[in-house]
Amino acid sequence: MTDWVPVGARLRCGHHTLDLSRPCVMGILNVTPDSFSDGGRHDRLDDARRHAERLLRDGAAIIDVGGESTRPGAEAVPLDVERDRVLPVVDMLVREFDALVSVDTSTPELIGEIAEAGAGLINDVRSLTRPGALEAAAATELPVCLMHMLGEPRTMQQAPSYERPVEIAVADFLRERVAACEAAGIARDRLLLDPGFGFAKTLGHNLQLLNRLQSLASLGLPLLVGMSRKSMIGQTLGRPVDERLPGGLALAVMAVERGARIVRVHDVAPTVDAIDMAWAVLQERPASGTEQS
């Protein structure tokens, strides 16, 4: 197990504080009509409210709201459409549930608006590479999750390849984005890293990246992972999207063993149990020389 996080580590997320001394679960709330797993299920405000209530009841520490599908082949969404999908949901989550809300967006204009609406975390699959995104994120003073991806969702799965081992390529990319953030005035202690499972990666890349996830701990920042219901499970086990939970639980536990502190999932309750059980085992360290029966 990788112990990059000091005991008691905390991340300030707006008026919330996230305890990262142990792993936690981020619940997914897609308000899109075309997300790969749950598109169209929560795009009305009442449906989003009911789903959010369940996510929180099941133990989600964070709710991640997405207004733009980033599945392979997805097209970009106009600002006004993304804004209309996301802002009412963020406002509702903050007002009615006082939830710690993360927003999955790359849009500079929306980054500032979600902060004003009370969101506590910016989760950008494009790592603040859009023009103006670095400056917008810096102005919010919110923490930011930077994710590895090559290209855009529309093209990212068109024969992705790496000249070096994928974990090294991912680490180098994220290191460069951290440096760009720091140069823009975003403090290092406000950054989280996501290796981007399923984004510009083959099945082999995904499996290798998880197997060697500990190598990213050398960057010294919290790791967020998202593998819930993804094709790496379907391709390995031959399961359709609605039968991928057992595989996803296995991946979540292995990620935690390798240093992940935030696990982004659709199925919160079983993931919380799996992670809590794994964490209890990982924390049970007998003193040197102590015999265990």
In a domain, 2, yes or no: no
291 within domain boundaries = no
The domain in which residue 74 lies consists of 10-279
Residue 32 falls inside a structural domain? yes
Residue 59 belongs to a domain:
yes
Query: Strand 101-104 relative to strand 62-66: parallel, antiparallel, unpaired?
Result: parallel
Q: What is the pLDDT of residue 43?
A: 66
Domain count, the chain: 1
At residue 6, the pLDDT reads 45
Summarised one tens digit per residue, pLDDT across range 39-53 is 445 568 999 999 999
Can you give the pLDDT at residue 156?
A: 53
Catalytic residue selected from 201, 230, 244, 258:
230
CB-based burial label for 39 (10 Å; 0-12, 13-18, 19+): middle
Packing angle between helix 133-140 and helix 166-183, nearest 10 degrees? 70
In tens, the pLDDT along 236-290 reads: 999 999 999 999 999 999 999 999 999 999 999 999 999 999 999 999 865 544 4
Q: What would the mean pLDDT of 53-58 be, rounded to a whole number?
A: 98
Q: What is the mean pLDDT of residues 11-17?
A: 96
218 found inside a domain: yes
Q: Tell me which of 63 and 10 has the higher pLDDT.
A: 63
Express each pLDDT in 63-114 by its tens digit.
999 998 766 665 678 899 999 999 999 999 999 999 999 999 999 999 999 9
Residue matched to tokens 């905390």: 10
User: Domain for residue 284, yes or no?
Assistant: no
State the pairing for strand pair 16-19/10-13.
Answer: antiparallel
Q: For the segment 169-195, what is each residue's pLDDT rounded down to a tens digit?
A: 999 999 999 999 999 999 999 999 999
**pLDDT score of 8:** 45
The active-site residue out of 190, 201, 244, 264 is 264
pLDDT at 108: 96
Domain assignment present for 4: no
Residue 287 lies in a domain: no
A 10 A CB-CB count for 99 gives 26
Question: Which CATH number fits the domain that encloses residue 76?
Answer: 3.20.20.20
Whether 154 is catalytic is no
Tokens standing for residue 20: 């990262």
pLDDT of amino acid 69: 74
What is the rounded CA–CA span in Å between residue 68 and residue 201?
A: 20
Mean pLDDT, rounded, for 122-135: 96
Q: Determine what percent of the chain is predicted with pLDDT higher than 70.
A: 85
Rounded Cα gap, residues 235 and 250, in angstroms:
15
Residue 230 known to be catalytic: yes
